[in-house]
Amino acid sequence: MSMSSQTAGATPRLHLSKDVVQVIYRLLAAGLLCVVLAVVTDSFLSTNNILNVLRQASLLFFLASGLTLVILSGGLDLSVGANIGLSACLAATVIKATGSPVLGTLAGLGSGTLVGVCNGLMVAKLRIPSFIATYGMLWVLHGLTYYYMGGETIHGFPPGFRQIGSGYFLGIPIPVYLMLGFLAAGTFFAQRTVWGQQIYAIGANPVAARLCGIPVDRRLILVYAFSGAMAGVASLVFLARLNSAEGDIGEALTLPAVAAVLIGGASLFGGVGTVFGTFVGALILTLVLNGMNLLAVNASWQPLVTGVIVVLAVWLDMIGRRRT
Amino acid sequence: MRAAVKSPPAPEVVEEKPDLGTPLLELKGISKQFPGVKALDDVSFAIWPGEVHMLLGENGAGKSSLMKCLCGAYQADTGAYFHMGEKVEIRTPTDAKKLGIAVIFQEFSLVPYLDVAQNIFLGREFKSKIPGLLDRRRLYAEAQKVLDRIGLEVDPRTKVHTLGVAQQQMVEIAKALSQDASILVMDEPTAALSDRETERLFAVMRQLQAKGTAIVYISHRMAEVFALGDRITVLRDGKNVGHAVPGETSPDQLVRMMVGRTVDMSYPRNFRAPGDVVLELKDISATTGIADINLVVRAGEIVGLCGLVGSGRTEVARAVFGADAITSGEVRVFGRIKQGGPDVAATEGIALIPESRKTEGLALIRTVSDNLAVAGLPKLFPNHLFSPGRARRSAEALIKRLRIATPSPNQSVGLLSGGNQQKVVIGKWLAAGARLFIFDEPTRGIDVGAKSEIFALIDQLVAEGAAVLMISSEQAEIVHVCDRAYVMRGRRIVGELSRSELSEENIVRMGMHDE
């Protein structure tokens, strides 16, 4: 992985930061899950199933990666699911009206980002707690989307556009490439840019960050804008895959995205976590749900299991950190 | 057990014991082991009724551990406690309370959103005649009595979070007093208090003494040790290194005991001719209430900003740094008018070392390396790309230069001692290339050795051409260290003292409210 190469190069003695250790444990857990599922089910290791898992994980990861930055900064964005709904419907309308997938994509990304900027302004400038600001935004977006759609469904998009959701390249779904791309970009941004480091600093202690000369307000607005933009990305992939847009399209995705971030090791208090951890968190969550499907476990159990994993992951982290 | 006290100054105490009768509380051979460190090693000490027992030692010497054993927060591994000659156990805080031991810790234990009275009687509320309800009238009446006793003019209905640090400290003291403790333990109670509040606290302590209350008092201030102490115990590395009586020892002697080496208390400075004006404030007023502030700081000089706690010193520092909004006036830095927030201040080479390093200066959960880089990120990485290797090399250089005691740059900064944490706060501004340093109480809660190091560092900064504005509540520091000083009172600057006029008496005279 990328993180071991940075530490091994400079010093002969390999020292692993807590973050890296955390991610390694999670990778081991994901690996163990795969082994168990491969043994107890016949169909887990089939190419189809693996690609299916990755594709499902990718949707979750788009949302969760933007959310990771928000949580790193010490905030929370509950509006991402509702943002998907609005952005998907606007993108669908634009594609239908103009026939241009490019304009539709811009509309989806633009509306997603704009919603994020609004969240950021509420949190940074009006000093509204992020939980409240984005929770309110969730309802506002739902209302706007339902009013706009009036119960209608928009469906049937050009095949070129549908590629980003259901297409393949070299036998692997396009969303999986997008996921790896955003994983690399998100990790680079968080670990290797000044802005990324400043976001960690803000999450760890916002008062100290401000008194260190970090422009806290601007960075917070940026972080919420990123989260909104990633909701825009998710809306487009979702739209292209479903080939139809409805008002409630993203509603069920918000809390699983939060779960993926928490399973991935980020702290809701801010300053702790990695985008790569969230990637592994999204994988673990998807693997578990996939395994339950393969084992024909009643779908009603899925929320329960999700809850148990989240609590367990956070608890094990707390124990691990106390010891070091 | 008594023979176990081996240190040379001890015999005098042993001889004195018979004269005083049975101690109120005696600790014998207390040891406490933590993984990797022996916090207390065979410590013995005794307290008699009506005396103030000073506990001295550098940070990490074992004072806090000893206090925690005394109040039942820790259980000693070995050793015994005797209360009025009888062997007792202190295993839980309840045991300690039963013996009449009350402790005022440095970190406050107040509940911010409860009011003063509720905090004072927390867990000991008065029950109303109607079962299940509380007698609020009695609560406020009793609270008012305690507040009157310590002379704190605050409405008992005030929510604690709206009070300043000094007032919170007084509430903490009121809380301990209300328990009618026979043994009161105080950890640096005056660190956050102004001189006037300190005086009031001392008066209360003398009242308590007269009533036979024994007081264990931890302090870093030598003047207090000699003004208040009846007896002094010095700890070093968890061991009892000596007992002394104020009349028979000197500050230098005590400091030598504490650090085990000679530390010069006078903080030597090399005074030189100042250079160009670096900071100039013209008629500054700010939303925080400071008004008509005029001051000048030149390159190569350390300018003091003194006055009582609450006189507006911190507010001036924050206004210069852009942390609070200025309503009128002009701040000039390096000759140019400065506008904007802390981000602008940082890019213009201004550094603020804030009053509270844990809440305002550091990200405690992050590493030493992260904290050292955080203010200098734009300067260290002008192309916006962060390099962990470069950050670590910069951190290693600063750790070496500032002699920060840390096992590695990857250590969480929260695990360092106070003095080393302060060095990290200073270090991050060195990484940022700051040329104007504003220190707000740079030595609060720091042991004597680290204090000298920090002053040596400040002297080195000005020798290299930096300008320093230093806020301190310890007048001795201002007098020894500063080229000149401004004195504040009631959120205004009331006077300026040149090097030759600079004396503790002059500062106190100018800064006092009651004239």
List the CATH number of the domain containing B400.
3.40.50.300
Residues B288-322 pLDDT 10s: 889 999 999 999 999 999 887 678 899 999 999 99
Probe site for chain B from A211, A217, A274 (most B CB atoms < 10 A): A211
Judge: A200–B370 Cβ closer than 8 Å, yes or no.
Answer: yes
Of B365, B386, B408, nearest to A197 by CB-CB distance is B386
Chain B closest-CA separation from residue A313 CA (Å): 20
In a domain, A3, yes or no: no
β-pairing, B25-34 vs B37-47, is antiparallel
Q: What is the C-alpha separation between A298 and A263, in angstroms, rounded?
A: 23
Alpha-carbon torsion angle B302, B307, B312, B315, nearest 10: 30
Q: What is the DSSP letter of B385?
A: B
In a domain, B19, yes or no: yes
* Cβ-Cβ contacts under 8 Å, B367 against chain A: 17
Q: What is the C-alpha separation between A309 and A303, in angstroms, rounded?
A: 10
Judge: A6–B388 Cβ closer than 8 Å, yes or no.
Answer: yes
* Cβ-Cβ contacts under 8 Å, A201 against chain B: 363, 366, 370, 374
Q: What is the extent of the structural domain holding A194?
A: 19-33+42-323
Chain B closest-CA separation from residue A201 CA (Å): 7
Identify the helix (H) or strand (E) that includes residue A9: helix A2-10
- Residues B44 and B189 placed together within one structural domain of the fold: yes
| pLDDT of B1 | 36
A185 pLDDT band, cuts 50/70/90, is very high
B260 pLDDT band, cuts 50/70/90, is low
Residues B465-505 pLDDT 10s: 999 999 987 777 888 899 999 999 888 899 999 999 988 77
Check pLDDT > 80 for residue A281: yes
In a domain, A160, yes or no: yes
| pLDDT of B439 | 95
* Cβ-Cβ contacts under 8 Å, B385 against chain A: 192-194
Number of domains in chain B: 2
Is the CB of residue A138 less than 8 Å from the CB of residue A119? no
Boundary (domain end) residue, out of B416, B434, B452 = B434
In a domain, B40, yes or no: yes
In a domain, A5, yes or no: no
Is the CB of residue A227 less than 8 Å from the CB of residue A115? no
Nearest CA in chain A to B358: A208
In a domain, B334, yes or no: no
Q: What percent of the residues of chain B are helix, what percent strand, and what percent coil, each to the nearest 5?
A: 35, 25, 40
* Cβ-Cβ contacts under 8 Å, A10 against chain B: 389, 392
Of A10, A204, A207, nearest to B389 by CB-CB distance is A10
- Proportion of chain A above pLDDT 70, given as a percent: 94
Least confident of A20-34, B24-38, B374-388: B24-38
* Cβ-Cβ contacts under 8 Å, B386 against chain A: 191-194, 196-197
In a domain, A4, yes or no: no
Of B354, B365, B384, nearest to A211 by CB-CB distance is B354
Q: What is the C-alpha separation between A280 and A275, in angstroms, rounded?
A: 9
- Residues B355 and B253 placed together within one structural domain of the fold: no
- Residues B58 and B187 placed together within one structural domain of the fold: yes
Residues B424-464 pLDDT 10s: 999 999 999 999 999 999 988 787 788 888 999 999 999 99
In a domain, B307, yes or no: no
Of B374, B386, B408, nearest to A193 by CB-CB distance is B386
Chain B closest-CA separation from residue A226 CA (Å): 18
In a domain, B329, yes or no: no
Judge: B342–A192 Cβ closer than 8 Å, yes or no.
Answer: no
Mean pLDDT value of segment B177-198 = 81
- Residues B51 and B189 placed together within one structural domain of the fold: yes
In a domain, A161, yes or no: yes
Would an 8 Å CB–CB cutoff place B428 in contact with chain A?
Answer: yes
pTM, entire model: 0.76
Chain A closest-CA separation from residue B325 CA (Å): 14
Is the CB of residue A224 less than 8 Å from the CB of residue A116? yes
Judge: B384–A197 Cβ closer than 8 Å, yes or no.
Answer: no
Positive or negative: CA dihedral A27, A32, A33, A38: positive
Mean pLDDT value of segment A225-240 = 95
Spatial neighbors of B189 by CB under 8 A, at least 6 apart, are B104, B169, B173, B201, B217
- Proportion of chain B above pLDDT 70, given as a percent: 91
Q: What is the C-alpha separation between B13 and B244, in angstroms, rounded?
A: 7
Would an 8 Å CB–CB cutoff place B363 in contact with chain A?
Answer: yes
Number of domains in chain A: 1
| pLDDT of A323 | 56
Would an 8 Å CB–CB cutoff place B432 in contact with chain A?
Answer: yes
- Proportion of chain B above pLDDT 90, given as a percent: 41
* Cβ-Cβ contacts under 8 Å, A192 against chain B: 385-387
Nearest CA in chain A to B438: A211
Spatial neighbors of A241 by CB under 8 A, at least 6 apart, are A162, A165, A166, A175
Q: What is the DSSP letter of A150?
A: T
HEC string for B430-470: HHCCCCEEEEECCCCCCCHHHHHHHHHHHHHHHHCCCEEEE
Nearest CA in chain A to B373: A197
Residues A52-104 pLDDT 10s: 999 999 999 999 999 999 999 999 999 999 999 999 999 999 998 998 899 99
Judge: B363–A208 Cβ closer than 8 Å, yes or no.
Answer: yes
In a domain, B396, yes or no: yes
Q: In this structure, which amino acid lies at residue B409?
A: P
In a domain, B409, yes or no: yes
Taking alpha carbons only, the member of B166, B149, B162, B151 closest to residue B116 is B162
Check pLDDT > 80 for residue A16: no
Mean pLDDT value of segment B52-60 = 80
In a domain, B317, yes or no: no
* Cβ-Cβ contacts under 8 Å, B347 against chain A: 213
Would an 8 Å CB–CB cutoff place B268 in contact with chain A?
Answer: no
Q: What is the extent of the structural domain holding B247?
A: 2-100+181-259
Mean pLDDT value of segment B6-15 = 40
Judge: B374–A201 Cβ closer than 8 Å, yes or no.
Answer: yes
- Residues B60 and B188 placed together within one structural domain of the fold: yes
| pLDDT of B513 | 47
CB pairs under 8 A between A and B: 87
Is the CB of residue A250 less than 8 Å from the CB of residue A91? no
Chain B closest-CA separation from residue A206 CA (Å): 9
Judge: B363–A201 Cβ closer than 8 Å, yes or no.
Answer: yes
Check pLDDT > 70 for residue B383: yes
Q: What is the DSSP letter of B220?
A: S
Most confident of A19-23, A283-287, B14-18: A283-287
Probe site for chain A from B377, B392, B406 (most A CB atoms < 10 A): B377
Nearest CA in chain B to A8: B389
Is the CB of residue A243 less than 8 Å from the CB of residue A154? no
Probe site for chain B from A3, A212, A222 (most B CB atoms < 10 A): A212
Q: What is the DSSP letter of B358?
A: I
Check pLDDT > 80 for residue B60: no
Chain A closest-CA separation from residue B312 CA (Å): 18
| pLDDT of B244 | 86
Judge: B352–A211 Cβ closer than 8 Å, yes or no.
Answer: yes
Helix runs in B322-447, H state only: 342-347, 368-373, 377-380, 388-401, 418-431
Judge: A193–B385 Cβ closer than 8 Å, yes or no.
Answer: yes
Check pLDDT > 70 for residue B15: no
Judge: B386–A272 Cβ closer than 8 Å, yes or no.
Answer: no
Most confident of A109-123, B237-251, B334-348: A109-123
Average pLDDT, rounded, for chain B = 85
- Residues B244 and B377 placed together within one structural domain of the fold: no
Nearest CA in chain A to B349: A213
Probe site for chain A from B338, B347, B386, B408 (most A CB atoms < 10 A): B386
Nearest CA in chain B to A269: B365
Chain B closest-CA separation from residue A212 CA (Å): 5
Q: What is the C-alpha separation between A296 and A308, in angstroms, rounded?
A: 19
Nearest CA in chain A to B35: A323
Judge: B342–A213 Cβ closer than 8 Å, yes or no.
Answer: yes
* Cβ-Cβ contacts under 8 Å, A215 against chain B: 341, 343
List the CATH number of the domain containing A209.
1.10.3470
| pLDDT of B378 | 92
